[in-house]
């Protein structure tokens, strides 16, 4: 009996040991598995780091071989930065600057009257004694050309220079001898480009109804354009009784710029013209039309002693269309100098406005 009891106790002890063994082994296995995972993760990180380093090295090599890829990458980076900036809260709007912020009084002009009009807005950019009535000399020829074109006269009709076209007022010379024949178109070209007085006078004389009817048409056109302080006595501008103001002339220039023929003829730099079987060279009286620094759509100069040196232009300055009127300028080149000073001032002012608005 005792023997049986001992055997049972021994069997129970053995069974107890067998049951406890797996329970003690389980944590060991779990711990080993955890260490293995850590090792694998560490190795994975090392491999990933190595791959990353290798990728960077490969990208650097590829960039060196193909610089366009670097440019595209930079562009993508800039695009991402722009998108991030766009998502940022909007800043308060900047005050818009304008040409009015720039003081024109510091611009020294030698013309007695001056005016610059922005054709896009109609606003005055600059003015100096712009309402003073003054003789306008050959600026009158713009009105002469408009009246001829308004009458829709045949530009290919041949007209002749006669004794009536000779200047008996100022005694100016001409390269068009009496008896010279030319088309009405050629006469208009020479009147606008080279300011030929005999050509301009012949245009008026060959108008239906003659010179009186032509002068009446000039004054009617002036009134229609709102040139209330202007008066014309003849088509050349040799008479000091052809008068206007800078404001009135700005209206006339803007109107004349709507005629393709006037734009073309007044800005022709030079032309070879056959007169009486001979070829003659004629040049524009405004040297600025041949300058690469100017973009001029219409031009006309003028001079008599009573009017001084005059210049009107329609041009593009500081990336906008403007009308420039300069009257009674002292000195042969001062009107050109004034025009260049205005151009530089407007361009500098526009640049200053852009910097301020940035």
Catalytic residues: 138, 141, 195
The Cα–Cα gap between 63 and 59 comes to 6
* pLDDT more than 70, % of the chain: 69
Residues 176-216 have pLDDT tens digits of 999 999 999 999 999 999 999 999 999 999 999 999 999 99
- Residues 147-162 have a mean pLDDT of 98
Residues 278-288 have pLDDT tens digits of 999 999 999 99
Write down the pLDDT at residue 191: 98
Residues 290-302 have pLDDT tens digits of 999 999 999 999 9
Write down the pLDDT at residue 54: 42
Count CB neighbours of 250 within 10 A. Answer: 26
Instruction: Name which residue leads in pLDDT, 15 or 349.
Output: 349
Contact, 188 vs 200, CB < 8 A? no
Domain that holds residue 194: 100-357
Residue 224 inside a domain? The answer is yes
Write down the pLDDT at residue 76: 42
Write down the pLDDT at residue 108: 85
- Helical spans, DSSP H, in the chain: 2-65, 67-87, 140-150, 184-193, 197-205, 210-224, 246-256, 260-266, 334-357
Residues 25-50 have pLDDT tens digits of 333 333 333 333 444 444 444 434 44
Residue 6 inside a domain? The answer is no
Residues 77-117 have pLDDT tens digits of 434 444 443 444 444 333 333 444 445 566 889 999 999 99
CATH of the domain at 185: 3.40.710.10
pLDDT of 159 strictly over 60? yes
Residue 310 inside a domain? The answer is yes
Reported as half-sphere exposure (CB side, CA atoms, 13 A), residue 319 has a value of 7
The set of residues, in sequence order, having a beta carbon less than 8 Å from that of 270 and lying 6+ positions away, is 281, 282, 283, 284, 290
Count CB neighbours of 344 within 10 A. Answer: 14
- For the entire predicted model, the pTM comes to 0.71
Question: Residues in the chain, how many?
Answer: 358
Residue 350 inside a domain? The answer is yes
Residue 51 inside a domain? The answer is no
Give the H or E element holding residue 297.
Answer: strand 296-304
Residues 234-280 have pLDDT tens digits of 999 999 999 999 999 999 999 999 999 999 999 999 999 999 999 99
Write down the pLDDT at residue 104: 57
Residues 328-344 have pLDDT tens digits of 998 889 999 999 999 99
Buried b (16+ CB within 10 A) or exposed e, 57-87: eeeeeeeeeeeeeeeeeeeeeeeeeeeeeee
Write down the pLDDT at residue 103: 54
> How many domains are there within the chain?
1
The Cα–Cα gap between 329 and 312 comes to 12
Residue 83 inside a domain? The answer is no
Residue 24 inside a domain? The answer is no
Which three-class secondary structure state does DSSP give residue 126?
strand
Residue 57 inside a domain? The answer is no
């Amino acid at each position: 009996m005792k023997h049986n009891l001992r055997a049972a106790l021994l069997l129970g002890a053995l069974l107890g040991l067998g049951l406890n063994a797996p329970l003690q082994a389980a944590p060991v296995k779990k711990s080993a598995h955890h260490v293995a995972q850590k090792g694998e993760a560490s190795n994975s990180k090392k491999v990933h780091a190595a791959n990353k380093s290798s990728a960077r090295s490969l990208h650097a090599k590829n960039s060196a071989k193909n610089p366009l890829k670097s440019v595209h990458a930079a562009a993508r980076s800039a695009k991402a930065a722009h998108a991030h900036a766009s998502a940022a809260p909007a800043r308060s709007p900047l005050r818009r600057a304008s040409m009015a912020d720039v003081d024109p009084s510091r611009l020294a002009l030698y013309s007695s009257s001056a005016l610059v009009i922005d054709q896009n807005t109609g606003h005055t950019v600059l003015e100096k004694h712009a309402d003073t009535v003054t003789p306008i000399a050959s600026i009158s020829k713009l009105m002469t050309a408009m009246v001829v074109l308004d009458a829709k006269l045949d530009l290919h009709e041949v007209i002749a220079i006669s004794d009536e076209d000779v200047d008996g007022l100022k005694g100016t010379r001409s390269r068009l001898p009496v008896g010279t024949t030319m088309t009405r178109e050629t006469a208009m070209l020479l009147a606008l480009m080279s300011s030929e007085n005999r050509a301009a006078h012949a245009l008026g004389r060959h108008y239906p109804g003659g010179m009186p009817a032509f002068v009446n048409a000039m004054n009617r056109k002036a009134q229609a354009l709102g040139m209330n302080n202007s008066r014309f006595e003849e088509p050349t501008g040799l008479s000091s009784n052809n008068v206007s103001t800078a404001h009135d002339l700005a209206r006339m220039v803007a109107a004349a710029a709507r005629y393709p023929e006037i734009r073309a003829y007044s800005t022709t730099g030079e032309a070879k013209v056959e007169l009486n079987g001979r070829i003659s060279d004629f040049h524009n009286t405004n040297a600025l039309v041949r300058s690469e620094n100017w973009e001029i759509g219409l031009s006309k100069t003028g001079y008599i002693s009573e009017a001084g040196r005059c210049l009107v232009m329609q041009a593009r300055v500081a990336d906008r269309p403007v009308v420039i009127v300069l009257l009674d300028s002292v000195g042969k080149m001062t009107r050109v100098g004034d025009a260049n000073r205005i151009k530089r001032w407007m361009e500098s002012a526009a640049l200053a406005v852009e910097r301020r608005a940035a």
